Structure 1
Amino acid sequence: MTKFRVGDFVKYNIYADNAATTAMYPEVAEIMRTYFVDDFYNPSALYRQATKIRRQIKNARETIASKIGALPEEIYFTSCGSEADNWALKGFVAAHKNPVSIITSQIEHHAILNTCTFLESRGCTVIRLPVSHTGIVNHQAYEASLHELNLPSIVSIMLVNNEIGSVQPIKEMAVQAHKVNACFHTDAVQAMGHIPIDVNDLHVDMLSASAHKFHGPKGMGFLYVRNGIKIAPLIYGGGQENGMRAGTENIAGIVGMAKALELSCKNMQSDREHIAKVRQAFLYAVREANIDCIVNKAESNVEGTISLSIKNANGEMIVNRLDLLGIAIATGSACNSRDMELSSVIKALHIPMEYAVGTVRISFSADNTIGDALIVAREIAKICV
């Protein structure tokens, strides 16, 4: 954290919106530069320089697969997590002739929710499961919905929620889905690089991820598709991505994403321990400041994401006031932050309105310090107490 003075106002430079995006690792930026400037060749060409690029793509695919327990041929590169989410659902529906039954939750990312609405307009049946006040899918409703399915069917439940950080019991849910022959997809955008992920242990059939959420480049993601799962190609054209997603590969992005995931997994344990201390310091400071708020969380949460619903406050006003001080937080999902309505997540949690309107999201990374946490809590208290 750096501190500087502008005019008569003391300002900070504290970034606490890491659930929106993360700073790229310097090592990632360095390795990507090579593929923008020197090794810029088209991997589909026949000359020796292109052969080297193809090898780098192969190595990156193997690296990513190894970090999640997948096979290299099960990894498909995309432009982002939203694309991967769209492809998982639309691709599954397109690969089956009959209308598909879809189960999802009320607190998914809009890349899933809006895709489900679109597919519903095309004849699919969509069941949107309620969640508890801690953001965990209602188990009884899920079990009941599985028995209502008509084949073919797919379940899509996010691993970690992007607004409150709750971790869903994906393994148990996937096992239950397979008992009725349903395919299981998870949006792991907020989980990848932050908690251990093994697709075999989780029993998932498809998984979406986005590089910029784990200190990689924006505009890069991937979709894991278990061998044997049928989905339709996303883009027709050349033979890239085994004929499933045509278009010249983003070499710098692919190599950068692989490097970022490698570093995130290497640093994961120490980062989680550090972020847990930052989180603890922040919540302690909030309590000490007597801020009347609800901490929106589940029994199992990622350490970095903290959602506060502050009584008789206005989340947008808090974000703007902190921005004037050089502190960056959010009201909720960055993908929907300009929409001043309550987010679908906060609505689904049934938070009392006098608290819900004052919801803000603080998301720390390993770059943040305990000092950052204390300053953010102190400045929120000045605004709200």
Structure 2
Amino acid sequence: MKAVYLDNAATTPMLLEVVEVMQQSMLSNFGNPSSVHQFGRKARAAIETARKKIAKHFNVSAREIFFTAGGTEADNLILYNAVLNLGVKRIVTSRIEHYAVLRTVEYLQKTYNIDVDYVNVNEQGVIQLDDLEVVLKSTSEKTLVSLMYVNNEIGNLLPIQNVAVLCKKHDAYFHSDTVQVIGRYQLDLQKTPIDFIVASGHKFHGPKGIGFAYVRKGISIRPILHGGGQENGVRSSTENVHAILGMEKALEISYKKLDEDREHIVAIKSYFIQQLKTNFKDVQFNGESDNLEKSSYTILNVRFQLKDKMLLFNLDLVGIAVSGGSACQSGASKGSHVLMSFLKEEDVTKTSIRFSFSKLTTLKEVDFTVSKLKEFILR
């Protein structure tokens, strides 16, 4: 059976070069980075070299990068610190954020009685900047804005520079879940004044279970995991040396071939859109995912004019891996909270599929997928 993987927003296949770096580290770099002997010092040196290399990609200092187990932990670390350490009394976010943000914000609101405001989105799921400014003007309470740069389900791009400027203007902290951005877009954090970003290695062909948080210099941060005081006291737990080195290698490869890979993926996405429009006259695209200027080049969210709960399952049976929404909902069948936030009720009930691409995706895989979609939908 032919295998076609079009769920790269959920996770990406690890590159051979990454596996080789990790394997070599496992064989020769086994020391505990907190140990003072030569094996520990070697592991510590490897981690700090990786930290410096990662920081350089974003034009920040190594001291501003903290390794975590992934994007979810990094989001939690930042949001908890905002409330418990930085004096934030209000969080401004949206209904289309990843659950790593939404559910953490809900918990903080319930537990610490903070105020939460949700910025409006339009019928395309676009964050309304006018509404954001109104919300920011409405109170003098210390505020954190948390809005993701690329939406993980519909691919909409946040006008990140505009939001950063608004937050700075109104003296608000700005946190952005950038999990779908790192390794796919250049981000100079000296030019774009974001206070906090997060990353997860498995989104850019690195290993799972590793990520990092960026915290702008001068902002105090305290641990939510207590223990040995690793990561400069911010994140206790023995560092995952091999995964850190694998993530750094994956990031290096991503940015080294960024333009070449983006050109390839844009061609894939453009061709897929054209094929869908040609073969399915009433096909719709959720959010702005069919707009190559306003959405991520790796994500396409498609709505077919039918209600077929078996379509994803049938695609899987013929070897095509796609998603109905975020893969981080533990297989729940409640539907996409993102689509529910802006689509009409009738459209929410129709079958939507998220296709997401990587540099490994081919035009032949697109053709095969379209042919199977025709079999299942036009039969």
Q: TM-score, normalised by structure 1?
A: 0.94
What residue identity is the alignment partner of 1:147?
K
Preserved contact between residue 74 and residue 226 of structure 1 (Cα < 8 Å): yes
Which of 302, 312, 315 matches 1:308?
302
Q: How does 1:49-64 map to 2 (within 5 A)?
A: 49-64=39-54
* Residue matched to 2:322: 329
Structure 2 CA distance for aligned equivalents of residues 331 and 320 of structure 1: 10
Could you tell me how far 1:231 is from its partner in structure 2? 2.7
Could you tell me how far 1:373 is from its partner in structure 2? 1.0
Asked if 1:105 corresponds to 2:94, the answer is yes
Asked if 1:377 corresponds to 2:370, the answer is yes
* Residue matched to 1:94: 84
Aligned Cα RMSD in Å? 1.4
* Residue matched to 1:6: none
Structure 2 CA distance for aligned equivalents of residues 354 and 239 of structure 1: 50
* Residue matched to 2:25: 35
* Residue matched to 2:198: 208
- Any idea what the Cα deviations from partners look like across 1:75-133, whole Å, max 9, x if unmatched? 00000101011111111111045x61000011000000001100110211111112122
Q: Which runs of 5+ in 1 are unaligned?
A: 1-10
* Residue matched to 2:219: 229
Preserved contact between residue 313 and residue 355 of structure 1 (Cα < 8 Å): no
* Residue matched to 1:8: none
Could you tell me how far 1:178 is from its partner in structure 2? 1.2
Could you tell me how far 1:284 is from its partner in structure 2? 1.2
What residue identity is the alignment partner of 1:166?
N
CA spacing shift, 1:102–1:354, aligned 2, 3 Å: closer
* Residue matched to 1:47: 37
Structure 2 CA distance for aligned equivalents of residues 33 and 371 of structure 1: 32
CA spacing shift, 1:337–1:291, aligned 2, 3 Å: farther
Structure 2 CA distance for aligned equivalents of residues 362 and 68 of structure 1: 28
* Larger displacement relative to structure 2 (86-95 or 297-306): 297-306
SS at match of 2:190: helix
- Any idea what the Cα deviations from partners look like across 1:189-243, whole Å, max 9, x if unmatched? 0111011111222210000110000000000000000011233222222231111
* Residue matched to 1:145: 135
SS at match of 1:201: coil
* Residue matched to 1:7: none
What residue identity is the alignment partner of 1:255?
L
Preserved contact between residue 295 and residue 306 of structure 1 (Cα < 8 Å): yes
Preserved contact between residue 6 and residue 322 of structure 2 (Cα < 8 Å): yes
Preserved contact between residue 238 and residue 247 of structure 1 (Cα < 8 Å): yes
What residue identity is the alignment partner of 2:141?
L
Preserved contact between residue 31 and residue 42 of structure 2 (Cα < 8 Å): no
Could you tell me how far 1:141 is from its partner in structure 2? 1.2
Q: Which runs of 5+ in 2 are unaligned?
A: none
Which of 243, 246, 249 matches 1:259?
249
Which of 101, 105, 110 matches 1:116?
105
Preserved contact between residue 222 and residue 233 of structure 2 (Cα < 8 Å): no
SS at match of 1:209: strand
Q: How does 1:15-34 map to 2 (within 5 A)?
A: 15-34=5-24
Preserved contact between residue 101 and residue 151 of structure 1 (Cα < 8 Å): yes
Structure 1 CA distance for aligned equivalents of residues 343 and 277 of structure 2: 23
Structure 1 CA distance for aligned equivalents of residues 121 and 330 of structure 2: 22
Which of 157, 166, 185 matches 1:195?
185
SS at match of 1:240: coil
What residue identity is the alignment partner of 1:77?
F
Structure 2 CA distance for aligned equivalents of residues 351 and 56 of structure 1: 52
Asked if 1:131 corresponds to 2:121, the answer is yes
Structure 2 CA distance for aligned equivalents of residues 326 and 344 of structure 1: 27
What residue identity is the alignment partner of 2:106?
T
CA spacing shift, 1:344–1:150, aligned 2, 3 Å: farther
* Residue matched to 2:263: 273
Preserved contact between residue 339 and residue 348 of structure 2 (Cα < 8 Å): no
Structure 2 CA distance for aligned equivalents of residues 228 and 148 of structure 1: 27
CA spacing shift, 1:94–1:192, aligned 2, 3 Å: same
What residue identity is the alignment partner of 1:174?
A
Structure 2 CA distance for aligned equivalents of residues 297 and 371 of structure 1: 26
Structure 1 CA distance for aligned equivalents of residues 264 and 359 of structure 2: 7
SS at match of 1:287: helix
SS at match of 2:33: coil
Asked if 1:365 corresponds to 2:365, the answer is no
Paired residues, what number?
373
What residue identity is the alignment partner of 1:158?
M
Could you tell me how far 1:337 is from its partner in structure 2? 5.9
Preserved contact between residue 126 and residue 287 of structure 2 (Cα < 8 Å): no
* Larger displacement relative to structure 2 (336-345 or 69-78): 336-345
Asked if 1:166 corresponds to 2:156, the answer is yes
